[in-house]
Amino acid sequence: MIVSKRIDWIFANSYLKKNFSIPNSKTGYLLSVVIFLYGIIKITQVYLLQDKNQNKHKRIPDHIVIESAAPHMHLNYFRYFNTQKRNTEYLKIECFNKKQYSCILRLSYISIFKEFCITLKEIAPIIGGLSAKLKKKGFIKEVASSLPVFAYFVCLLRAMKKNNSNLKLFSGGAPLISSAAILLDIETYYLTHGFINKPTQRDKLNPKSSNYLLVYPNYTYIYTYSKEEGEYLKLFGICSSIRNFPYKKLINFQRKVIIFLNYTDDNMDQKILEDLIHIFHQNYYEVIIKIHPTYMGNFDKNLAFRDLVRFENSPDSSADSFIRKEQPEFACGWISTTLCEALNLGVIPICLSNKDDPLFDEILYPLKKKSLMWHDDKEIIKNFIENKNQNIHSIVKKLDLKN
């Protein structure tokens, strides 16, 4: 089955069998009536939110940046495509804030209604069969709430493209508005904001690329932190141009270790953290703890050796920029993209998570192979920092070559 551009957001980040088909269902038409009535209410609501005094000839810049539910997910745009953060170069759309996106350009009610009906007509015959086939909890509710928003985004982006034919859309995924842009042949960039997770059905399906496809909106470009993630996406049929974020390995290193905290204490271990701090401090390393931008825990206040640590709370500083600034020999953390970024920069990554942590199975990146594991490789790490029996570059090269 070839997934239509109009409805591929329904399948976003899902495994589908290559011979996948959806039978028509009579219940689908009954469900469509409910979706239609609900959609009319939602369309009317967002239409009435529009500012009647909006300038129809408002200048639209080339770059459209999508902010989703998590406000940090689009920030790679500013790190790689607009380093000066010039407001004149981009327009931000908060795709979960209808009060914001409804006030960008004024749209006609008829155009939104027509777009809604066209898409519903495509969904109606298969919605019942699709619900039974995918077995997603809350699936009908999700389609009902997303469809009128999709219709609005199509109309909004169409009006914006009419204003400026050079539009490019950047997001940390945002499949609904990305699908709307792709439908209109707008260049789309998926800038991953962290590790790419496997779809949730992986445990039940144990998918093989010979039998399954991985469905994403057909982004023009997908940027990843690692080549392994890109290779997996290609293996499962993703046709987007997949690129890695650019990195240049560091050459000079300082006798420092950076520990990156997660946003919560739940999946971190304070005793391990204190053990690590003690060992590195004994060997004359400066120990730096980088606080997560959304940190909600207490490790920074309750550590036994907190007086031996330099705490850094700089939410606007990315892991990449912070590592380049400090030039440490080691970067430590739990299951986090920061360890991949460290290796990309030529810094030795140390993973503090237990190797049996189920989170390892949720990500595409082979983190256990690409890091020194504190539980298993502690003696190797101690030998290095006490005797320097290997150089940093040789350790990094070995980790780089592992698959």
The CATH class for the domain spanning 254-401 reads alpha beta
**Sign of the CA dihedral with 11 first, then 16, 21, and 26 last:** negative
Q: What percent of the chain has pLDDT over 90?
A: 54
| Closest alpha carbon to 167 in 91, 245, 221 | 91
List, for residues 27-64, the tens digit of each pLDDT value.
Answer: 667 888 889 999 999 999 999 999 876 666 678 999 99
Comparing 87-91, 344-348, 370-374, the range with the smallest average pLDDT is 87-91
pLDDT of residue 265: 75
| Closest alpha carbon to 368 in 330, 331, 327, 340 | 340
Residue 65 has pLDDT above 90, yes or no: yes
CA angle 154, 157, 160 (to 5 degrees): 150
pLDDT of residue 13: 85
Residue 203 has pLDDT above 60, yes or no: no
**Sign of the CA dihedral with 128 first, then 134, 136, and 141 last:** negative
- Top pLDDT among 301 and 286 is at 286
Q: What is the mean pLDDT of residues 152-160?
A: 97
Cβ-based neighbours of 3, under 8 Å, separated by 6 or more? 11, 16, 215
pLDDT of residue 243: 95
List, for residues 164-197, the tens digit of each pLDDT value.
Answer: 999 999 999 899 999 999 999 999 999 998 899 8
Domains of the chain, residue spans: 8-244, 254-401
Could you write out the three-class secondary structure of the chain?
CCCCCCCHHHHCCEEEECCCCCCCCHHHHHHHHHHHHHHHHHHHHHHHHCCCCCCCCCCCCCEEEEECCCCCCCCHHHHHCCCCCCHHHEEEEECCCHHHHCCCCCCCHHHHHHHHHHHHHHHCCCHHHHHHHHCCCCHHHHHHHHHHHHHHHHHHHHHHHHHCCCCEEEECCCHHHHHHHHHCCCEEEEECCCCCECCCCHHHHCCCCCCEEEECCCCCEEEECCHHHHHHHHHCCCCCEEEECCCCCCCCCEEEEEEECCCCCCCCCHHHHHHHHHHHHHCCCEEEEECCCCCCCCHHHHCCCHHHEEEECCCCCCHHHHHHHHCEEEEEECCCHHHHHHHHCCCEEEECCCCCCHHHHHECCCCCCCCEEHHHHHHHHHHHHHHCCCCHHHHHHHHHHCC
**Sign of the CA dihedral with 163 first, then 169, 171, and 177 last:** positive
Among 66-80, 138-152, 194-208, which range has the highest average pLDDT?
A: 138-152
Q: What is the mean pLDDT of residues 206-223?
A: 90
